[in-house]
Amino acid sequence: MPEQYDLIVLGSGPGGYVAAIRAAQLGLKTAIVERELLGGICLNWGCIPTKALLRSAEIYHNMQHADSYGLSATPGFDMRKIVARSRGVAKQLNQGVTHLMKKNKIAVHMGTGKLTAPGNLSVEKNGKTEELTAKNIIVATGARARDLPFAPADGKRIWTYRHAMTPPETPTKLLVIGSGAIGIEFASFYRDFGAEVTVVEMLDRVVPVEDAEVSAFLQKSLEKLGMTILTGAGVEDLKATASGVTAKIKTKDGKVAEHQFSHAIVAVGIVPNTADIGLEALGVQMDRGFIKTDAMCRTGVPGLYAIGDVTQPPWLAHKASHEGVIAAEHIAGQHPHAMDPKNIPGCTYCHPQIASVGLTEAKAKEAGYELKIGKFPFIGNGKAIALGEAEGFVKTVFDAKTGELLGAHMIGAEVTELIQGYTIGKTGELIDEDFANTVFAHPTLSEMMHESVLAADGKVLHI
């Protein structure tokens, strides 16, 4: 007889394992199926270990500027040790998820899962197949890096983010194709360790999902650090050789030139892991490979849910986790709130950091809002100056008629930690007066959030 559950979660990334935990808390007999490592890409090969790498880069960057703080240091690095620390962090978190599965009495089935019928799932491992059944199944199989069709990653000279996390050698001259969060983070990381870096972006600005002012500021900052930024450009050919990479790059003026690099990182998007898991046979509706879902994460097949990177954007770990909670609570008969994509923050951990939530100024104008905009620079904040981090700004976008916070956009030190203040405000439907009447601690970077709101109403104090 197949093992029977109330819920089976296919995939154990930040969406899958959170969904399993919440379901178990609500009394559902729950199982999780994972083909590789508990925690999925995020904990093992994505969000967390990359931040460990970037932390090493941040410390090394500061070491090189120790004199400005009245200190002395002899900067040096060992990439093998940097990578080993990152892998150690990933291992610790993988063990943490394993503990959470045991604590919540969630059955773990390691192997490759496939939907065979509504409520039925097979798990194959080492030539053996195990059959499971459940009243409900959540698909949380995530996504993988997209290859260039004419130059698939080989792990030697042409890399995806996964290769870039455990480099066989440190690049000396690096080409980064794509300037989204992944591309820019690795460009920042390897530039800090001395690589000559060129970033190629096909759209007209870097980090194109961000507010245009943030994009412009970041490009200037990256160029100041010595990077070459090519926007409105594309890589038309990419060939790996024994000693490097040859790339034909077409720039915005239409000219094509050949360039030599030691390595290339391809960061041009993701491909959902939806093939060969039985979705087509069940009649699941898809859009360019991604699963269509409703506000409760339901597919069109009764009892089948989908969350995370296999569904619609934004493709972010925290969005997947929240969807996992929504799906689990809905399955358990509760009435969770639907998630508003405009209230999901986005963060990029380059140097300087970027964080945002809600509409950009351009998107808010397109939506027909009458706007009032507030901005405040890091140079006007005492804590930022004391930290030696006086570059950046905070920008807030409000509905001029109602005071509703439509969007917030930040670039500078630690803004990935600050953005949650605005995210809470948007979720709680606070208006400009609520932020203005809030007392912000001094001296803190968060005071810039207050000043930006005040600036929107012509009440800014410190510039």
Helix (H) or strand (E) holding 414: none
| CA angle (75 as vertex; 71, 80 as ends), nearest 5 | 140
β-strand 245-250 against 256-261: which pairing, if any? antiparallel
Q: What is the DSSP letter of 441?
A: P
Catalytic residue among 65, 442, 450, 462: 442
Q: How many residues does the chain have?
A: 463
- Provide the residue type at 372 as one letter: K
CA distance 134 to 118: 9
What's the N-to-C CA distance of the chain in angstroms? 72
DSSP run (H or E) holding 369? none
User: Is 442 among the residues known to form the active site?
Assistant: yes
Under 8 Å CB-to-CB from 149, ≥6 apart: which residues?
Answer: none
What phi-psi label fits residue 403: left (phi over 0), alpha (psi between -120 and 50 degrees) or beta? left
Residue type, 105: K
Counting other chains too, the contacts that 383-392 makes at CB distance below 8 Å and 24 or more residues apart are: 383/443, 383/444, 383/445, 383/447, 384/412, 384/413, 384/445, 384/448, 386/443, 387/413, 387/445, 388/65, 388/68, 388/69, 389/352, 389/413, 389/414, 391/221, 391/352, 392/217, 392/352
Catalytic residues, by residue number, are: 442
